[in-house]
Structure 1
Amino acid sequence: MNVPGSADFLWRGYRLQLLGQRAVWDPEQGLLLVADLHLGKAESFQSQGIPLPSDGDGATLNALLAVAHGLGPAQVVVLGDLIHSRLGLTGDLRQKLRALPALLGCPLRLIGGNHERGCWLEGLEQEPSQALGPLWLSHAPEPRPEHLNLCGHRHPVALVGGGADRLRLPCFAYAPAAEQLVLPAFGALTGGHPCPDGERLWLLADGAVVPWSEPSRRSSVSPRRRPGPAPRRRG
């Protein structure tokens, strides 16, 4: 089944689908993979006196439920940073996380990320990096011989255009030398980091995945350097 707006990704003949919903679908194993939801981020900031609206979690969870209900996966695997910090682990969020597997209609698994460190999530064990079929699942990039490393952590974005028209678009990023596919951040309240040279990118725009293979993409999107101030004369 081809999901509308998706793009096929082939690795040594193994087929994955990159979804416009910022997720990866593995039809062979029935796996739905997402990364970096950062639930509770607004509440974490609020606890430190930084006002953020508390509506990001609802949008993130509803998006996850929508893609899961459309595909009917055997399991959903979060590649780390399901939550933002223990400061944001309110009673309401804990209740939502307990109900999430039943709402998804399948088991929910979590590869532990750096933001879960020191947190206890009832009924949801933080698992180490591991292999599932030909895939090596980790939070931070972790190349593994003879496996395709699927990971998150980086929140990859592409810089498209220049000057006032420049856009920062979330993307999938593949590093051929490391055989590593980095997923975009799934959470509604997450930023992003530009990708290094040498990676193949698939942009996310209007719910669709768009391959971007422009050879000169780095030079075409780099902001112009402004001349620095004239040096001061001494004496």
Structure 2
Amino acid sequence: MVRLRSASPRAPGWTATPCAATTPSGRCSTRPTGSSRRRSGSRDRTMLTLDDDLRCVAPGGLFDPATRTLVIADVHAGYVRSLQSRGYLLPGVDDRELFARIARLRERLDPATVVIAGDVVHGPASMRASPDGASALDGLLSALDGCAAVIVPGNHDRGLDAALHGRGVTVCERWAFGPHVALHGDDPEVLRAERASARRGGGRVVIGHHHPALVLRDAVGARTKVMAFAWAPGIVCLPALTPFARGSDLVLDDEAAGLTAAVDASELETAVIVGERVLPTGRLDRVRAVQRRGPARRQRAG
């Protein structure tokens, strides 16, 4: 669980106190759990380093310094354009924030390779040219210019292979880097098999698709949903990079069902993205227990 404080000058809007572990009394401890660590003396909260040195980085990437590989997922370039093609009026809304997020990650990490683990675009409209002559896919490829780009298609990427033909992008069903492998993660059976294989090799399968999120609450009951990382031995699930994602609340069984079909909640550690910070929030089963106890406790108090 994450408790919220009032906003401070250092972080506009919602701010949070990380709860890396929940004590038997239901209180939160800020001591990091065994599956993540911060470098000694480091105050950089823009990333959280896992035990195998993979880095969970705000606003939603995973970086492997050994291979200089950055993995992002659920970009959904052209989401707004897709809605506009269906008659929605969304003036002044476009992909600029999405491309800015990619630029910030590249500037911070200097990756040699960027892998998009599925849902690169939001549908056929994303690949069609706009009145200015460029498509959302063109804009995305421009944001990736200067590094090796790898695309692992997701369930929204029908027809993407043809659109990328001859554009210098590697397209594949899975991408291995070091002992790790990136794929979209929408097939639970494939995901379980890939996770087992990655664990045997001392790596992880890195996936998207599930859009993990958690709901933060403050002392007076105000709520906001923020994107989250979720990981366990052999697996990391990335948050959606698109700023338009609603996110699937991991506390709710129906929203988390796709991920927990492959990974038990008692194995999953979580961390939320608040602004440009990554804050550990503890094991999912403990987060659920605390969150679900809250309403009953307030009812008894009333």
TM-score (norm 2): 0.65
Q: What residue is the counterpart of 2:245 in the other structure?
A: 190
Contact 1:166 1:221 survives alignment (8 Å):
no
Partner of 2:173: 128
- Asked if 1:9 is matched to 2:53, the reply is no
Q: Is the 8 A contact 2:81 2:94 kept in 1?
A: no
1:156-175 alignment runs, 5 A limit: 156-161=212-217, 164-175=221-232
The answer as to 2:287 corresponding to 1:217 is yes
Deviations 1:153-201 (CA, angstroms, capped at 9, x unpaired)? 000001233884222111100134xx21100011111111122433210
1:18 matches 2:56: yes
- Partner residue of 2:149 out of 108, 111, 118: 108
Out of 83, 86, 93, the residue aligned to residue 55 of structure 1 is: 93
Q: Equivalent residue of 1:15, what SS?
A: coil
CA RMSD of aligned residues (A): 2.5
* Partner residue of 1:84 out of 115, 122, 127: 122
Between the two proteins, what is the percent identity of the paired residues? 23
Aligned pair in 2 of structure 1 residues 182, 138: CA closer, same or farther (>3 Å)? same
3-state secondary structure, aligned to 2:163: coil
For residue 99 of structure 1, what is the aligned residue in structure 2? 142
Alpha-carbon displacement from aligned partner over 1:7-49 (angstroms, at most 9, x marks no partner):
1112xxx311111221111100001111111010011111112
Query: Which residue, 84, 105, 109 being the options, matches 1:67?
Result: 105
Q: 1:31-50 residue pairs with structure 2 within 5 A?
A: 31-50=69-88
Please, which runs of 5 or more residues in structure 2 have no aligned partner?
1-38, 251-255, 257-264, 297-302
Question: TM-score, with normalisation over the residues of structure 1?
Answer: 0.83
**AA partner of residue 288 (structure 2):** R
Task: Decide whether the 8 Å contact of 1:159 with 1:221 is kept in 2.
Answer: no
Query: Structure 1: where are the runs of 5+ without partners?
Result: 226-235
CA contact (8 A) 1:161 1:220 kept: no
Q: Retained in 2: the 8 A contact 1:42–1:53?
A: no
Name the residue aligned to 2:158: 117
Kindly provide the amino acid, as one letter, of the partner of residue 8 in structure 1.
Answer: T
How many residue pairs get aligned? The number is 218
- SS of match in other structure, 1:202: strand
- Which residue identity is paired with 2:80? A
Runs (4+) of structure 1 exceeding 6 A deviation are: none
Q: What is the distance in 2 between the residues matched to 1:59 and 1:73?
A: 20
- Match status 1:180 vs 2:225: no
